[in-house]
Each structure stands twice: as C-alpha cells, then as structure tokens.
Structure 1
Amino acid sequence: MSSDFAIKVTNVGKNYQIYDRPHHRLLQMLPGNRRQWFRDFWALQDVSFSIGKGETVGIIGRNGSGKSTLLQMICGTLTPTTGSIEVNGRVAALLELGAGFNPEFTGRENVYMAASLYGLSKEETNAKMADIIAFADIAAFMEQPVKTYSSGMYVRLAFAVIAHVDADILVVDEALAVGDAFFTQKCIRFLRDFMQTGTVLFVSHDTAAIVNLCSKAVLLSQGKIAETGTPKEVTEHYLATLYAADQDVTGVSRKQDGQEEASEALADVKPDAAGFGTGDAKILGVRLLGQDGEPLTYVMGGEDVMLDIRCAVYRDIVGPIIGFQFKDRLGQVIFSDNTFLAYRDDPQQVAAGTELTARFEFQLPFLPSGDYSISPAIAEGTQEAHIQHHWLHDAMIVRVHAASACMGLIGVPMKRVSLRQATDRKS
C-alpha cells in the first residue's frame, strides 16, 4: 500500500434495492421469477478522490447527498457496490449519534468495548481510562447505562474515546453540533493539535467550520462529486445549491422584455465576481465611502465608513432585503448586516425598472492588516423566508491597514491599560 495517501477512493458506488411492498422481497427470491420487484437507488455513484497524510478535508452537501454513506464505507461499516477504498492507517470515527455504543452498557463498559474495536487491549484502555473520563467530564455518570445519557453526554464520551485511541485518521460527522460551547471548544483544540500530524475527514453543514478547519473540501450532490477545491470555493458553490433547490436560481443576466441592461459605467463590482439568484434584481455596484462621501482606496480599523449597495429591480417586488457579508481572506464572515429590521414594520414596494440603493453607516472594527472582501445580496421577503434575487460573491476587495497590533480576527480598543504593583507589607 502506498504511503503517499491516507485515504484513496476510486470509482466508488453504493446501490440499494428499494422494494415498494414488504412481500416483494419474497417474490423476488422465488425460483423461476422473471420479474424485477425492486428498483435501484444509487446513494453514491462514481466517487473518486484521495486524501494525503496530514490533510484535513471537509465533506459538505445537502441532506441525502451521500455524505454519511461515504463515511461508513471509509470506516468499513458498509461495503461499496462498485469501486474500491484504500485506507492507510488506524481510523477512529464519530459518526451519527447512537453508532458504536450499546445502550444497555454503562459508560465505562462502552469505553472498553469501543477501544477494543480500535485494537486496544484492556491493559491499554485501563492506562487511558482516566484521561478519557477527564476529557468527557462526565465522571459521575460513567457507571450508568448510556441509554440514560443526554445527546450531549453521549457525544462527550464518544469523542473522548476517539481522542485517545492513537488513531492516524479521524472521521467526524456533525458530532460537534450537539455539544455545548465549552466542550466544542475543547474538541476544536484537540482537532487542531491532531491536525499537526494526523489526517482528518470532517463532515458538517457549517460552512464556517469547513473554511476554518479544512485545507481542502469536497461537495457532494445527489450521490456524486459536484466540486473539489479550496474550502472557500466549495462552500460558496454549496451555498448556491441550497437556494437553487427551492428557487429558480441560475445566473443574473436576466432582463425583462423592453428593458435595457444597466450601463456598464454603473457596474463597479468585480467583473469576474461569481453569483447566483433568480435574476429579478441585480447588484450593480458596491462602494465603500469615507465620511466625506469620497470612495476609499484603503481603510483603517476604527474608521467611520459608509457602504453603498446599488441594485437594479427588473420586476415589482415587495419587502426588498439588501445586505452584505464582510469576509477575511479565508472566507470567514467577520460581520454582516441587512436592511430587514430597519423596514420590518414598513415593507417597501419597488416597481420594475427602479434602481435601489442601500446605505450602511458604521465604524469598521479593528482588523489585522490585509485584504478583505464584501459579498452583497438582494432578496425579497423576510429573514426566515425569502427569495434570493442576486447574491454576489466577493464583489469588492477592501485593503485594511491596522492602526495598532491586532492578533485575532478583530481587535478591541482598550479604554485603559494599566499595571499595579503592591509591596509586601510583611517584609
């Protein structure tokens, strides 16, 4: 087996036979039967990719896209119908809630059972038991059956086990979604340490987690690979598919009969900016202005600025929502806002052929020096239920210069910094 990869998936497919009635299974097995009583359902089809040692790869996709099926085949709990999967190293997996533990066993008994499945002897598990219990932080419940555990307690114990079995590859499927904030941060710290030497396959619907943790991402759609690339590119594609599933979302070059396309002189967005939406409205321009109304070539943290987003409306709409995301170079959203709350009690009616401009006035946070992007959007409806007319990825790049040192995602201006010394009065 080659040592260049941790996981290699080659032309993998998984087929299930679907029967409409229970007795059709029996009819299918009868001797001399010439009729096919089932229909084929391919949960995965022709999936190929490889993961190098030390890589952290995110798998993302809508429910039913085949993510969990793929992970189960990589972990060996399912067998591919077609193709092959090669795994180089010990795999520890945290799949759907409920997998791997016996609900009648106590927490301690399940630790022994799970560790043995990963190849640890009872003596090795005994040596790690104290660390596992400390990581899970549920010592008071270790002698109770896990069927009495909450979902959070269950995940705590399951994650604690895979964190201590000396695995080469970790497979994590949406496990952190049910943990509390303190435990989630503990898991993230562990994952970041593990990523220094190990391989991680991470599945989540949280695009921010994919962007933040992964070096590469794979988008699954209807059982096939739709895209493989950087986390930023793949999550943007995934976001577009979410809207496309429920709306007539394509490009935004659409115009109504008798209307001319907006003048190129007005379009100051990036010429190659990618986007999606129904096309019933379109982002024309994005400008970042100083308090004097002049466009800014760069901005400083803490500076008062104005952001203008200009849109063309191609059909009558009620309740337009114009908003934006301000993202760093990794695609992480630093902050965002929109017009919905300002006009929630007085939805605007906008006629076709109107040009609509939203202005946001705010103080820019203190940010590390570098390039940032602004992604604007125009929709119609409410925060909870809306139609996306145009979402434009990275329409504008903003250069930020830090006025002072900023070591995190944002800097917080200190009102006062002081040192106080006290002498030892006993001396």
Structure 2
Amino acid sequence: MTNDIAIKVENLSKVYKLYNAPIDRLKEALNPFKKKYHKDFYALNGISFEVKKGDCVGIVGRNGAGKSTLLKIITGVLTPTGGRVTVNGRVSALLELGAGFNPEYTGLENIYFQGNLMGFSKLEMDARVQNILEFADIGDFIHQPVKSYSSGMFARLAFSVAINVEPEILIVDEALSTGDFMFQFKCLQKIKEFRRKGVTILFVSHSAQSIIEYCNYAVFLYQGGIHSESYDVKKLIYTYEEYIRTNKSEIKGNDIIKTPMKYDEYDFLTEPNQELAEHRIGTHAAILREVYFIQDGKEFSENIVLEAGLVTKLKIIILSKEALQQTVVGMSIRNISGLAIWGDNTLNSIGSMFELKEGVNVLEFEFNLSLKAGEYVYLAGLADFSTGNRIELDQRWPMKKITVISNRNMSEGFIFAPLRYLSGLSQ
C-alpha cells in the first residue's frame, strides 16, 4: 500500500449464519453428516476500494446495506469472513452510542479508559481532559456513571473523546443524529476543521445533504456490495436518491406507492408512529390516515426525499366514521430543533371550512418547497367545528420525517431562495 493511501479494502466479505429456529444451531453442531441448517447472509460480499489520506468519504446506503458492518471491520470490532483491510494511521471511531464505554465507570473514568485502549498514557490523557470536558459540556455529570446518561450525553462525551485524541483517521457512524441541534452543528464544524488539517474521515449518514456538504468522495453500498463510488459526490447522491425512488421491487418499505382507495376497519389506525415518537390526540371520529408528497409525478409516504425549489404536491387521505360539516386541516414543517419553518391550513387555502363524507376523503394541494436542504418533520392536525366549538379529531405531531436536498448550498437562513445573477460584474 502506497503512503498516500489511508485505508485499503480488498475483496472484503462478512457472512452471518441465519437459523430458522434456535434449536437448528444445536442440530447443525451435532449432526454427524455436517448437515447445514442455516442460510448464509452476506452483510458484505467481496467489496474493494481505497481511501486516500485527507479524503472525507461519505458512505450511503439503505438500512442493511452493510455500512456499519464495514466500519466495524475497519476499526477491528468485527473480524471479516474473507478479504482484508489495511489501515495506515491512528484510528478514532464513533460507531455506536456509548460503544466501548463501561457503564459502571463515570464519564471521567471512561475518558481515561478510552485513552488507554488507544495507547495513550495517563499523562498524555491528562493533557487532553480539559479539551474533552469543554467540548462535551455535560457539567457535573462527568462524575456520574455513564449508565445514568441520556443518549445526548453519551453522544457528547463519545464524540468529544474521539476528536481529542489527535486521530489521523476519524470514523463516524450515524451516532451524531442522537445529539441536539447545536451539538450536531458543533460536531460538523469540527469535521470541517479536521478536513482542513488533512485528517482522513469516513462518514456514514442518512442525511444526503450532509454527505454533499462535507465529503469529497462517496461510496454507495447496496446489498453488501458497492453499487457505485465517485469523487463527484453530488452526482452520486442524486443517483442514490433516484435509485431508491425508482427501484420499488428491490427496497423495503413503500417509497413509491399509489394511493389506496379501498379500506376496511383495519385501515382505521390510530396508533402513533413509535419510530418518530409521534404524539397523537383527538376523538378519532375522523383520522389523518396518510399523506403523500409528490414531486415529478412520484409519490412518497416513507423515506421522503424532496428537492428544494420544486413545486410539491400534497395528497392527504382522511377516513371518517361519519359525515362532518365544518372541518379544517392544518399543517406545518419544523426543523430538527422544533422551530416552525412553514405552515398553512385549509381555511386559508380553500377560503372556508370543508365537509367530510363518511368513508374515504382525498384532499390535494400544492406549494413551492422553498426550504433549505436539511432534515425536517411534518406535523398535521384535523379539527371539527360543526358544533360551534373546536373538537380535535386527529392531531399528529410529527406525522412524517422529510429530507430536503438541493443542487446548491445556501449560506444562511432556512429558506431556499438562491440569487440569480443578472448583470453588473465582469467575469
């Protein structure tokens, strides 16, 4: 491996044995004829690539594509089934929340524990502790056992330790999504600083815009293999987003769907979305059954990735147990810190309240998606005014997660309103 290469992955594979039942593992171990009771699952299947020193490499792919497995093998947490990884430089990794921390130790004890694992003496860690404490900013909790920490505290301390041990190679999994908005901002600024210093970075994120903004190289993993890799990060990300939009048969979930128009009693669902920690209240005499975001003729209800600046259509499906004469739907989009960026309601758009019939009701709207690239949540509420009083029918906070990408980065603010050059400057 040449001196300009930080990481070299050669024909790397990781195979797991999958059993239909726990007893099958014992049957296989005791079978005198070596009969197999398992199926081989290839988390990684013969992948090869190189990372040059100073590159910031973004790794994208759907859940189960092999991203975390790859990083764990590179850092030595997992042993590959086949192939090899060669690493040239000191590695600092943030793979999973609290990975490598002893839950019984205090935060301060874990700082020294992590330093010892990386080969630093106590004296060397003494010189780094103050910087670690200042960046983590968890106050007196540093003297408490980490088992008492919130997920945000874990993320703060783990990232702070990872960046303050002078890494030559920094590996970051999706762990940054756990911290609060300002902590994420501070971490991403630190990644920018490391890039300027020439630190090699491997960065896994479900945020397409973060990959575009911070990485100069990207690898698209698909079903344990490499679908594509390129220094044209923006083009690869658009390829990735287009791929998951248009290959319905090869992906999980309903990324591209047609609006269902037939329902039975099992479709009248009122359970909140646990994945989004949705708060849902109301009488549920009528419910917001589903919402679809539509761009370029494609409908999305999950894994919603939209492009800034485009006209976006909304299709809202409402199920009602009875006819209601005076109803209103309100909605908003909020950023990761909970700030409302956009909002409107049907009273404004229609000019009056509307009637719901018993059964299926479909409302369609459109608006300009003038949001800066980033991660957002969509909230919606349905209320009835037929009795003269406001009765909450179905409030869903939040109802959906939305990712907005753009073909250019806006320098400040929340709104996608790019300047268009007209005249006056020589070029």
TM-score with structure 2 setting the length: 0.62
Structure number with larger C-alpha Rg? 1
Q: How does 1:19-418 map to 2 (within 5 A)?
A: 19-30=19-30, 32-196=32-196, 197-229=198-230, 230-244=232-246, 246=248, 321=294, 335=309, 337-340=311-314, 400-401=420-421
Whether the 8 Å contact between 2:312 and 2:367 is mirrored in structure 1 is: no
Partner of 2:337: none
Secondary structure, aligned partner of 1:40: strand
Q: Distance in 2 between matches of 1:319 and 1:182?
A: 30
User: What's the offset of the Cα at 1:339?
Assistant: 4.0
Separation in structure 1 between the aligned mates of residue 223 and residue 98 of structure 2, nearest angstrom: 25
Q: CA deviation at 1:335?
A: 4.6
* 2:207 alignment partner AA: D
Contact kept, 8 Å, 1:13 with 1:81, in 2: the verdict is yes
Distance 1:402 1:171, change over 3 A: farther
Could you tell me how far 1:243 is from its partner in structure 2? 2.6
C-alpha spacing 1:6/1:402, structure 2 compared with 1 (3 Å): farther
Task: Give deviations 1:31-54, integer Å, cap 9, x for gaps.
Answer: 623311211111110111111000
- SS of 1:77 mapped into structure 2: coil
Give the aligned residue type for 1:117: L
CA–CA distance in 1 between the matches of 2:227 and 2:295? 29
How far apart, in 2, do the equivalents of 1:129 and 1:214 lie?
Answer: 29
- Using the TM superposition, give the Cα deviation of residue 169 of structure 1 relative to its aligned residue in structure 2, in angstroms: 0.4
| Aligned 8 A contact 1:6 1:169 in 2 | yes
Counterparts of 2:181 and 2:424, CA distance in 1: 30
In structure 1, C-alpha distance between the alignment counterparts of 2:142 and 2:308, rounded to whole Å: 40
Answer whether contact 2:220 2:227 (CA < 8 A) is retained: yes
Residues 248, 277 of structure 1: 8 Å contact kept: no
1:189 partner amino acid:
Q
Letter in 2 for 1:2: T
Counterpart code for 1:61: G
> d(CA) in 1 for partners of 2:204 and 2:86?
19
- 2:332 matched residue in structure 1: none
Once residues 319 and 278 of structure 1 are traced to their aligned partners in structure 2, the CA distance between those partners, rounded to angstroms, is: 9
Once residues 170 and 320 of structure 1 are traced to their aligned partners in structure 2, the CA distance between those partners, rounded to angstroms, is 37
Partner deviation per Cα, 1:196-243 (whole Å, 9 max, x = no partner) = 211000000000000000001111111111111222122112212333
- What corresponds to 2:383 in structure 1? none
Unaligned ranges ≥5, structure 2: 260-290, 298-305, 315-343, 355-360, 373-397, 401-405, 409-417
Residue 244 and residue 393 in structure 1: after superposition, are their counterparts in 2 closer, same or farther (change >3 A)?
A: farther
1:29 deviation in Å? 2.1
SS in 2 for 1:83: strand
SS in structure 2 at match of 1:147: helix
Q: Distance in 2 between matches of 1:74 and 1:6?
A: 11
Paired residue secondary structure (2:102): coil
SS at match of 1:142: helix
**Kindly tell me: are residues 156 and 38 of structure 1, through their superposed partners in 2, closer, same or farther at Cα, counting changes over 3 Å?**
same
Contact 1:172 1:201 in 2 (8 A): yes
SS in 2 for 1:14: strand
| 2:295–2:310 CA contact under 8 A, matched in 1 | no
In the TM superposition, residue 79 of structure 1 has moved relative to its aligned partner by 1.1
May I ask how many residue pairs the two structures share in their alignment? 305
Q: Structure 1: which amino acid aligns with 2:26?
A: L
Structure 1 residues 2 and 342: alpha-carbon distance in aligned structure 2, compared to 1, 3 A threshold: same
Is the contact between residue 59 and residue 219 of structure 2 (CA under 8 Å) also seen in structure 1?
Answer: yes
CA separation of 1:148/1:401 partners in 2, compared to 1, >3 Å: closer, same or farther?
same
Distance 1:323 1:404 in 2: 35
State the match for 1:311 in structure 2: none
The 3-state SS of whatever aligns with 2:219 is: strand
SS at match of 2:54: coil
- Kept in 2, the 8 Å contact 1:247–1:278? The answer is no
Between the aligned partners of 2:256 and 2:292, the Cα distance in structure 1 is 16
Q: Give 1:184's aligned amino acid.
A: Q
Q: How has the CA–CA distance of structure 1 residues 144 and 278 changed in structure 2, closer, same or farther, with 3 Å as cutoff?
A: closer
RMSD: 4.0
Cα separation, partners in 2 of 1:7 and 1:122, compared to 1, 3 Å: same
Q: Is the contact made by 1:75 and 1:93 (CA closer than 8 Å) also made in structure 2?
A: yes
Q: What is the one-letter code of the residue matched to 1:44?
A: L
1:363-413 deviations in Å (ceiling 9; x for gaps): x99x9xxxxxxxxxxxxxxx979xxxxxx999xxx99217799xxxxxxxx
> Contact between 1:319 and 1:348, CA under 8 Å: does it hold in 2?
no
The alpha-carbon deviation at position 359 of structure 1 amounts to: 9.1
Deviation of the 1:68 alpha carbon: 0.4
Q: For residue 98 of structure 1, report the CA deviation from its aligned partner.
A: 3.1
1:141 deviates by 0.5
- Structure 1: gaps (5+ residues): 250-275, 281-317, 325-331, 351-357, 368-382, 386-391, 406-427
Q: Alpha-carbon deviation of 1:167?
A: 0.8
Aligned to 1:12: 12
Cα distance change on mapping 1:244 and 1:319 into 2, 3 Å: closer
Residues of 2 paired with 1:321 and 1:81: CA distance? 43
SS in 2 for 1:195: helix
**Structure 2 Cα separation of the partners of residues 178 and 359 of structure 1:** 31
Q: Greater CA deviation, 236-245 or 70-79?
A: 236-245
